[in-house]
Amino acid sequence: MNNVPPEQEPDAPVFADRSLAMVQEVAELAEAIKPEAGGTGISPRVLAVLGRVPRHRFVPQSLRLHAYDNRPLPIGHDQTISQPYIVGLMTELLEVHPGQRVLEVGTGSGYQAAVLAEMGVAVWSVEIVAALATQAAATLKELRYDRVEVKAGDGYAGWPEHAPFDGIIVTAGAAHVPQPLLDQLKPGGRMVIPVGAPYAVQELWLI
């Protein structure tokens, strides 16, 4: 879990208020579209974690005052930090428990990895854009998320040296479910992955 003391930033009270409003918005949205999401809401445990992770530390400085908007934001290299609702929903679907091992495909800014670390799991995260992997690793280290290990590489190949995993979470859309990921999932484990063509409608699959 993150051991960072309260931030001494001038805008810290603003961030705290916006984080609280974001969590409330995510909770209301989750309940509103629960029937469409297969009856899946977002539990108080996951909502509490969303409230603890300092999302503004995972976006560019110029966008920090928008960090707690319930929408994706650009993080450079044509990539985005995911909408908080989607992060919450995917975390909920993964059903992780403290002490478990999770593979993340698509580190991005490191935000989803931080959420998972706050859930008490160990995370191995792979990012195909080397510059993002380096930045995410630095941010996670600075925030003392020492349960997260990041490397640059092709996430669809997984991270076989640390397999099998209790859960696998894929944050970028895939045209199909990569076989190496299935091979690295423990029996009874869960994989959450958006499936569909790039820049088209995608479906969130739970395997």
Which residues participate in catalysis according to the annotation? 82
Rounded Cα distance, 22 and 80, in Å:
18
The DSSP element (H or E) to which 6 belongs, if any, is none
Structure tokens given for 69: 């908007």
Side chain identity at residue 130, one-letter code: A
Q: What is the dihedral of CA 80, 84, 90, 94, to 10 degrees?
A: 120
Phi, psi values for residue 203, rounded to 5°: -110, 140
Q: Which residue has the tokens 């958006």?
A: 194
State the DSSP code for 67: T
Tell me if 96 sits within 8 A of 116, measured CB to CB.
yes
Task: For strands 122-127 and 101-105, give the pairing.
Answer: parallel
Is the Cα torsion angle 205, 123, 59, 198 positive or negative in sign?
negative
CA gap 3, 62 in Å, rounded: 26
Of 188, 193, 154, 149, give the one whose Cα is nearest residue 170. Answer: 193
